[in-house]
Amino acid sequence: MLFFVIISFYWLIMFINSTFILTDDLMYNSLLSVIPDGYIEKAISLQHKWAWVGYVIFPIGLFIKFIFISAFITTGAIFCGYDIGFKKILKVVLLSESLFILVGIGNTLMLLLSNVNSITDVQSLNLTSICSIGFLIKDSAPSWLIAPMNTLNLFELIYFMLLVVGIRITAEEKASKSNLWVITSYGSYLFIWIIVLTYLSVTYA
């Protein structure tokens, strides 16, 4: 049930973004310098036709993310000898996701209140990117490094803290133990994710 509540919020955010922010006019202005004028309407029409795919794929990707994070933390629990089940950890992970829902809502409101005219404007007003290491080094670092470094942001740190508190309460462990537990398990997941993003950035740069 909690998973479907999360998905419903994300679907609402996606719908508002696609309807009121990524409008046809904005897409037209963004594509005008990229593809010939005659193909822009076809590209926009194609986007409308296949918009439903994003609503289907996103929950699958989110589900995989939750399973992976929970699996890493559960594995850490086993190695540390803690008695806590996968389902309890999954619940903590799902509840912690509320942070990113709030970030998504805040980002959408900021875009609605701003004068955005292109996809570049939308990307530049992304809260997660603005509060990341990638934003700080964007002028000096190679372009392929920006996407991975965007992962290391303020909200990721808060998310980590929510996981620590949630695990501590659920497992009834001391702060020092739960901190080490989440650092080693979630840290491993995050490290692998950054490596994957770096590989994709280098490959398709």
Q: What is the pLDDT of residues 21-54, one digit of tens each?
A: 999 888 888 888 778 777 888 888 888 899 999 9
pLDDT of amino acid 174: 64
For 9, what's the count of Cα atoms within 13 Å in the CB-facing half-sphere? 18
pLDDT (mean) for 177-181: 72
- Which of helix, strand or coil describes residue 172? coil
- 118 CB contacts (<8 Å, ≥6 apart)? 26, 29, 30
Q: Which residue has better confidence, 116 or 70?
A: 70
Comparison of pLDDT for 61 and 39, the residue scoring more: 61
DSSP-derived secondary structure letter, 109 = H
Number of domains the chain contains: 1
53 or 147, greater pLDDT: 53
70 — pLDDT class (breaks 50, 70, 90): very high
Q: Which domain holds residue 6?
A: 2-204
- How confident is the prediction for the chain on average, in pLDDT? 87
Decide if pLDDT at 175 tops 70: no
Structure token digits, residue 31: 């594509």
Strand-pairing partners, residue 153, are 132
Residues linked to residue 132 through DSSP beta bridges, in sequence order: 153
Query: Distance between CA 74 and CA 84 in Å, rounded?
Result: 8
Q: How far apart (Å, rounded) are the C-alpha atoms in residues 99 and 111?
A: 18
